[in-house]
Amino acid sequence: MQLSPGERSILAYFPSTPAAQEAAQALKGAGITEVQIDRVSRFGVSYNSEYNNPIAGQAETQTGLVLFSADTDHFNDNDARVLLGADPSVEGYAPPGYGVPGGKSFLVTVVTSAEKVDEASAILKDKGAYF
């Protein structure tokens, strides 16, 4: 993406989806419409189209619950799925925060005019963003 003249971008990190979504809503409420939320992961992210509910016995995969990998091909990616399943974060023996980059794995990207950069930054700081 290339910014137009007079536009600025801000990258802010949050520890959870709800915190990132709350910040995005506050930005949109202030009239800043170019806001995007992404998850940062060392494995890449593929959001599951499957309904994953292990309590109801409807978990597609073991790794889909923690690594967002349920949409990987069941037949062509068997080796990758075994390796993902061997990751300590999947088996439950990982220390707290293992595999999460700095504990702030939700990225909010904002593109706004130069005049609104300070306002957007203040909103993000108020919502607990890390820059």
Residues 90, 61 share a domain: yes
> What band does 118 get if pLDDT is binned at 50, 70 and 90?
very high
Report the number of distinct structural domains present in the chain. Answer: 2
Which amino acid would we find at residue 15? P
- Are 105 and 131 within one domain? yes
**Looking at residue 25, which CATH number applies to its domain?**
3.30.70.2750
17 pLDDT higher than 60:
yes
Q: Does residue 49 lie in a domain region?
A: no
Tokens of residue 29, six digits:
């409420």
Q: 95 or 110, which is more confident?
A: 110
In a domain, 3, yes or no: yes
Instruction: Give me the amino acid identity at 83.
Output: L
Residues 6+ apart with CB under 8 A from 2: none
pLDDT in tens, 72-81: 555 556 666 6
Domain extent at residue 122: 1-42+100-131
Q: Are residues 76 and 104 in the same domain?
A: no
Task: Map tokens 């309904």 to a residue.
Answer: 51
All residues at 6 or more sequence positions from 9 whose CB lies less than 8 Å from its CB, including other chains: 3, 109, 110, 111
- Answer whether 0.85 is exceeded by the pTM: no
- Shared domain for 88 and 110, answered yes or no, is no
- For range 39-64, the mean pLDDT: 59
Residue 51 resides in a domain:
no
26 and 1 fall within a common domain? yes
The per-residue pLDDT for 106 is: 87
Selection from 18, 13, 72, 14 nearest residue 47 by Cα: 72
